[in-house]
Amino acid sequence: MAGKPKTILVACGTGIATSTVVANLVEEALRDRGFNIHVKQCKVAEVQAHLDGVDLIVTTTQLSGNFGVPIIKTLAFLTGIGKEDALKQIIDALNTAKV
Amino acid sequence: MQWFFDALNFITGLGATVMLPIVLFLIGLILGAKPARAFRAAVTIGVAFVGINLVIGLLTGSLGPAAQAMATRTGVKMDIVDVGWPAAAAIAFGGEVGKWIIPLALGVNILMLLIKATKTLNVDIWNFWHFAFTGGLVYWATNNMALSLAVAALNAAIALFLADWTAPGVQKLYGLPGISIPHGFTAAYVPFGIPLNMLIDKIPGLNKLEADPETIRKRFGVIGEPMVMGVILGIIIGMLAYLGDAAVGTLGVQIQKILALAISLGAVMLLMPRMVSILMEGLIPISQAAGEFMQRRFQGGTFYIGLDSAVLVGHPSAIALGLILSPITIALAIGLSALGVNRVLPFADLAVLPFLLAMVAPVTRGNIVRGSIIGTIVIALGLIIGTVMAPAHTGAAIAANFTMPFAGATISSICDGTNPLTFLLYSMTRGGGGLGWILWAVGVVVLGGVIYLYKKNSVKWEAIAGGPQPEEVAEEEGELVRV
């Protein structure tokens, strides 16, 4: 899949703990499916500051506000339950995101 | 026989940066991770330890002398550097107890599930460090490995109980069906939050107050960012330590030192989490394998899935509360230091304050005014605890091969150096020997009794911890998920 890499911002409470897990798993899964993506991490409180070039936000905790990009809140990558559904949601959101 | 002792000496001499990767590689393989992945993960963990050690060196090397200079000049003696939870986690995992904490805590979880003492299937392997930390302190005090492991196991069991108890309240406030939080730090404050909240209910006027989280967050703005907070604290501490001191040098030199300290502290705030994120990354294949291992063992059952309290702290009230508690913590530290009961200089863990009351929030229904009051009380208590436990904290760090920049340097961390549950377990067993074991056994019996009482009356207990009121509960108490 050619074209400009899509950027996913993974946000959690610490910007360290759960977001590292999710960022790693999402990146690995999407690379395996041939997506050209770039994954960034941050704290939910810092989302506004990291929004440049972001196509999609994935968060493990509550994220309030409108950032102009789709937000997917999921715990599937942490619990291991419903992982495939969450991945599908992310892929759908990336495919429909503006280039 | 000599070769055997030589080999043993060789292995123990390797230190955390080498030993822990080897142990975790083996644990990863046993739990079913692929060898190549487990190897890469294990090396990553060793590298992360090197990185964390560098940043601790930067922090204690720059803040330590400044704190001492500040103490001599102002009389405010806060010379115990708060190195933060990232360092505490590394110290915990890097210690003797830390090497065995993953199989140990998994074993405790499996046992409690089998005897139906818990409903939580804990897949949050990362946060096993809290249990290892407590065990590490006990090991430092007693040098008794069996007792230290037993205390760590008891801590893990308590966390599972607290997770079950608070699950309905947490699920309701945060909208997380099927989740519970067996977190060694965040869950520990629930038993304090409940009576304090009841007390506030009785105080007229106070029981009506509430504040808006969004306004608080906006007021703090960029200062709320850890890196900026580090720089500002650096300037303040630097001025108190160096400004106007001719022994330091000319005014120009004084200003240079102040600004250098400020940027160094900003760097610590930014770099420390990055280093820990490397440690985290290294643990992923192992924690994933452990999670899958647990889910395979208990397939078909229904459970709460135990997760990190990091999934809670995105809530606006948690963020706002963390911001309010930062200046309160610093003020308390100064005040208590003047009274001679605190020596901890809060720094790196100011960033962790949103975690402190994330599980008390369901009890107060997310009320920020109440959160601030309860927070003030537990932090004040915590600073005193931190001062008392600092020698053990420092000793555990040295035992895990972290280098102190100068002799006599002492460290603490708000998480878990000031944790009342950690302190309780450590105080009970630090004497070691027969009494240590007896008090440990008392702890086990008390926990068993509490779990029994809770199970007999779970709906009422859960309502007190912020869950739905008994009349709202139709047939089921908390939402479970099928694995």
pLDDT at A3 over 70: no
* Span B356-397, pLDDT tens digits: 999 999 999 888 899 999 999 999 999 999 999 999 999 999
> Could you tell me if A20 lies within 8 Å of chain B, comparing CB atoms?
yes
Judging contacts by C-beta atoms under 8 Å, the chain B residues touching residue A62 are 174-175, 314-316
User: Of the given ranges (B215-219, B365-369, B468-472), which has the lowest mean pLDDT?
Assistant: B215-219
- Percent of chain A as helix, strand, coil, to the nearest 5: 40, 20, 35
Question: B24 touching A, CB under 8 A?
Answer: no
pLDDT of B206: 84
* The pLDDT of residue B106 is above 80: yes
Q: What is the mean pLDDT of residues B453-462?
A: 94
Residues of B whose CB is below 8 A from A24? 281, 284
* Confidence at residue B401, expressed as pLDDT on a 0 to 100 scale: 83
Measured at the CA of A28, the angle between CA A24 and CA A29, to 5 degrees, comes to 115
Indicate whether B147 pLDDT > 90: yes
Instruction: Nearest chain B residue to A15 by CA: give it.
Output: B273
| B361 close to A (CB below 8 A) | no
Q: How confident is the model at residue B223 (pLDDT cuts 50, 70, 90)?
A: low
Which pLDDT score, from 0 to 100, does residue B295 have? 79
Q: What percent of chain B has pLDDT over 70?
A: 95
Query: What confidence score (pLDDT) does residue A46 get?
Result: 80
Give dist(CA B191, CA A21) in Å, integer: 30
Closest CA to B431 of B85, B151, B62, B89: B151
Distance of CA B135 to the CA centre of its chain: 13
Return the pLDDT at A70. 92
Residue B205 pLDDT exceeds 90: no
Mutate to test the interface with A, among B126, B280, B297 (most CBs of A within 10 A): B280
Residue B76's pLDDT is 82
Q: By the CB < 8 Å criterion, does A17 face chain B?
A: yes
Q: What is the pLDDT of residue B137?
A: 97
pLDDT number for residue B222:
67
pLDDT of residue B10: 74
Q: CATH topology for A6-96?
A: Rossmann fold (3.40.50)
Identify any residues that bridge with B303 across adjacent strands, giving them in sequence order.
B481
pLDDT at residue B69, rounded to an integer = 87
Closest CA to B416 of B29, B66, B82: B82
Instruction: Quote the ipTM score.
Output: 0.73
pLDDT score of B235 more than 90? yes
Mean residue pLDDT of chain B comes to: 88
Alpha helices, DSSP H, located in B298-407:
316-338, 353-356, 368-399
Which of A20, A25, A59, A67 best probes binding to B when mutated, by most B CB atoms within 10 angstroms?
A20
pLDDT at A83: 85
CB B130 within 8 A of CB B393: no
The whole-number average pLDDT for the span B408-432 is 94
pLDDT in tens, B325-346: 988 999 999 999 999 999 999 9
Per-residue pLDDT tens digits for A50-64: 898 999 999 988 887
Q: Is the Cα dihedral A75, A76, A80, A81 positive or negative?
A: positive
Predicted confidence band at B180 (pLDDT cuts at 50, 70, 90)?
A: very high
pTM above 0.90, yes or no: no
Contact residues, B window 190-229, toward A, CB-based 8 Å cutoff = 217, 224-225
Distance set, CA B285 to CA A24, B24, B55, B282 (Å): 10, 10, 25, 7
Q: Are A64 and B318 inside 8 Å of each other by CB?
A: no
pLDDT at B407 over 80: no
Confidence (pLDDT) at A1: 47
Query: At residue B151, does pLDDT exceed 70?
Result: yes
CA distances for B178 relative to B109, B295, B307, angstroms: 17, 14, 10
What are the tens digits of pLDDT across the range B73-95?
888 888 899 998 888 998 999 89
3-state secondary structure of B436: helix
How is residue A93 written in tokens?
């959101």
